[in-house]
Amino acid sequence: QVQLVQSGAEVKKPGASFKVSCKASGYTFTTYPMHWVRQAPGQRLEWMGWINADNGDTKYSEKFQDRVTITRDTSSSTSYMELSGLRFEDTAIYYCTRAPRGEYWGQGTLVTVSS
Amino acid sequence: EIVLTQSPATLSLSPGERATLSCRASQSLSSLLAWYQQKPGQAPRLLIYDASNRATGVPARFSGSGSGTDFTLTISSLEPEDFAVYYCQQRSNWWTFGPGTKVEIK
């Protein structure tokens, strides 16, 4: 069965960076792109970007364009999402979800930005 | 960016009642709209994709309709486990999500 398992919760200071991993299993990793979505407390889901797991091409939301980097390691079937220049409002749960339809999601990673 | 609006923001209903949720897009999506259910502390769950197709394992009481800019999610008879927040999402131009409709117990 398809599974996406994300790394654990993190606490970061303003201005720092974090990197979340998303390990895929149960399918051929390079067949499907991966999206990254976040949800701040009490807020709507927010699309951050996408990676073509086959060739590594990326597309980022304009909102995060300058601060986000999505990568993948095909040898370990893992996608990574790094966000830099953290602000308090980046406190959120970060999810990976498989394209094209978003039928499979990771369990989410809570990142707290606190001084 | 395609903007999605959802109405109502909150729907107060009793188990067994019919729920009708709306989603409107700022430009045509063709049929590239999905509906998700989210419960507290859980990841979203895909219910409907491409406007009217139920995802695997989704009960038949959930149905989707619409095309272009106006879409509807209908829950024919609410079960206790259906009280949650519902989001629409477009994948016509990358992804965006609507603000959500909370279906609460009346």
d(CA B9, CA B100): 7
DSSP for A67-108 reads TEEEEEETTTTEEEEEE-S--GGG-EEEEEEETTT---B---
Residue ranges for chain A with pLDDT beneath 50: none
* A100 prior amide bond cis, ω within 30: yes
**CB-CB neighbors (< 8 A) of A102 in chain B:** 34, 36, 44, 46, 89, 95
CB A44 within 8 A of CB A58: no
Each residue's pLDDT tens digit, B7-65: 999 999 999 999 999 999 999 998 999 999 999 999 999 999 999 999 999 999 999 99
Min distance A35 CA to chain B CA atoms (Å): 9
**CB-CB neighbors (< 8 A) of A6 in chain B:** none
Is B56 within 8 Å of chain A by CB?
A: yes
3-class secondary-structure state, position A7: coil
**CB-CB neighbors (< 8 A) of A105 in chain B:** 43-45
Name the H helices within A12-60.
none
What value, to the nearest 5°, has the Cα angle with vertex B26 and ends B23 and B30? 75
Confidence of residue B68 (pLDDT cuts 50, 70, 90): very high
**Three-state SS letters, chain B:** CCCEEEECCEEEECCCCCEEEEEEECCCCCCCEEEEEECCCCCCEEEEECCCEECCCCCCCEEEEEECCEEEEEECCCCHHHCCEEEEEECCCCCEECCCEEEEEC
Which one-letter DSSP state was computed for residue A20? E
B104 - beta bridge partners?
A: B12
Burial letters A15-53, b for 16+ CB under 10 A, else e? eeebebbbbbeeeebeebbbbbbbbeeeebbbbbbbbeb
Each residue's pLDDT tens digit, A81-94: 999 999 999 999 99
